[in-house]
Structure 1
Amino acid sequence: MALLPGQHGAPLLVQPDAVDRNEGDVRRVVRDYAGFVGRSLRYLGVVEADLEDAAQEVFIVVHRRLDDFEGRSLLRTWLYGICLRVAHSLRRKAATRREQLMAEPPERGAAPGQDAELQAKEARARLQHLLAELDEEQRSVFVLYEIERMPMKAVAEAMGCPLQTAYYRHQAARRKLLASFQPSQGGES
C-alpha cells in the first residue's frame, strides 16, 4: 500500500504564515503525515480493506480545509480530528452494509523464517482486538498518548476535552486493557 508508509519525524507544527495554501502544501502534508493518518485510521477501527479509501478521504478533507487551519494547535491534532470523523462515518456506513468484510484474508501456513513476522502480525491483531473493546474516547486518547506519543495537552485538544478528562480517559483505557489482557495470559499457563 504505497499511500501509507510508516513515516516518522514529520514536523509537528505548521505556522499559519508558513502555509502557502497551494497544491504543494497539500502534497507536503500527504507526504509527511500519510503514515500517521494510516496508523490513526487503523487504530480507530478502520478495516484494512477500507484503509486506503479512508486515508484518501482524510486528504480530500485536508485539501478542502487546509485554508481553515489557523495554526493554533498541532497539525497532527487537526489531522487526527479529521481521521476521527472519517472513521466514525465509515463505521456508520459499515453498519448498514449487507456483506461481511474480513479485516484480512485467511492466512496460509508460515514459511520458515517468517515466525517473527507472524508473531508481530498476531500481536498487532491482538492489540486491535483489545482496542476495539474500548469506547471511542478512551481508544482515541490511548492511541494518541501511548502509541503516537503525543503530549497529553495535544491529546486533550484533539479530543476537545479538558486536560483532566483526557488523563481520566487514558487511565480508564489502561485499566480496561490490563483487565482484558490478564485473563488471557492466565489461561495459557
Structure 2
Amino acid sequence: MDGVFRMFRWFPWAARGGAPSAVEHPLDVVAVHAEYADFVFRSLQRLGVRPPDLDDLRQEVFIVVHKRLHTFDTGGSMQAWLFGICKNIVARHRQRAYVRRETTAIPLPETSSEGVQPSPEENLATKQARAELTELLNELELERCAVLVMFEIEQKGCEDIAKELGVPVGTVHSRLHAARKEFEKALARREARLSRGRRR
C-alpha cells in the first residue's frame, strides 16, 4: 500500500500562501474575502474541483458567505465554517457534473525533472497514473479526501491540518484513517474491474 501512496508524487501541490490569519472584523464580508480567498481556493482544490471551475466555485462560496455571514458564530472557527460551505458547494457541483457525465479532478500540473525532457512513453504513463489517482480520489467522501490530499500531497502534519480546518487533531487522525481505508477499497474495486476486463 505504501507504494500506492508514493504515487502522490505526481501531485506537485503549490500552496497559495500560508494559513490564513485571523480576521479583525469577522462579520465584514470584505475582510473575510481578503483574508480567506486563498484558503477557499485551496479548499476547493483539495475537494477535487477541476482547475477551470475553481474561480467560479470560489465566487459561489462568497455569495453564500455574503448571504449567511450574519449566522456565523464569532466564537467558532472561520476556517471550519468556510470549509463547510466549500464542501456543500462542491457536493452540489459533483451532482451537476454527474448529470453532465463529467468528473471532478484534483489539479495535476505537468512536471518533469529539471533539465530532463520526459519521453512520450513517460508522459503517457504519468498522465495515466494521474488519471487513475484522480478517479480513486473522487470516490472518497469529501472531507476525508481533503485531509488525505493535505497529508499525502501537501505533506502537512496532522496538527497543521487541524489548525487550518478548525477541527480537533483527533478528527484529522480519524478522517485520515478512514480516507486511507476508502482509498484502499476504491483501489481494490478498480483492480477487480481491470481483472474482470482482462478475463473477457
**Aligned AA for 2:37?**
Y
Match of 2:46 in 1: 43
Q: Residues of 2 paired with 1:68 and 1:55: CA distance?
A: 20
Structure 2 residue 14 is matched with structure 1 residue 9: no
Structure 2 counterpart SS, 1:72: coil
Q: How does 1:42-121 map to 2 (within 5 A)?
A: 42-97=45-100, 100-101=101-102, 115=118
Q: Residues of 2 paired with 1:57 and 1:124: CA distance?
A: 28
Match of 2:141 in 1: 135
Matched residue count: 160
- 1:49 and 1:169, CA in 2 relative to 1: closer, same or farther beyond 3 A? same
Distance apart, 1:81 and its partner CA: 0.7
**Aligned Cα RMSD in Å?**
4.1
Task: Work out whether residues 12 and 74 of structure 1, in 8 Å CA contact, stay in contact via their aligned partners in 2.
Answer: no
Q: Deviations over 1:52-91 (max 9, x none)?
A: 2111101212223333333333322111111001001111
**Aligned AA for 1:11?**
P
Distance apart, 1:27 and its partner CA: 4.1
- 1:134 and 1:71, CA in 2 relative to 1: closer, same or farther beyond 3 A? same
Q: How does 1:161-172 map to 2 (within 5 A)?
A: 167-172=173-178
- 1:95 and 1:128, CA in 2 relative to 1: closer, same or farther beyond 3 A? closer
Task: Work out whether residues 49 and 90 of structure 2, in 8 Å CA contact, stay in contact via their aligned partners in 1.
Answer: yes
- 1:170 and 1:26, CA in 2 relative to 1: closer, same or farther beyond 3 A? closer
TM-score normalised according to structure 2 size: 0.56
Match of 2:10 in 1: none
- Identity among equivalent positions (%) equals 34
Task: Work out whether residues 46 and 149 of structure 2, in 8 Å CA contact, stay in contact via their aligned partners in 1.
Answer: yes
Relative contact order, higher structure (CA 8 A, sep 6+): 2
- 1:114 and 1:50, CA in 2 relative to 1: closer, same or farther beyond 3 A? farther
Distance apart, 1:145 and its partner CA: 5.5
Unaligned runs of 5+ in 1: 105-109, 185-189
Unaligned runs of 5+ in 2: 1-13, 106-111, 192-200
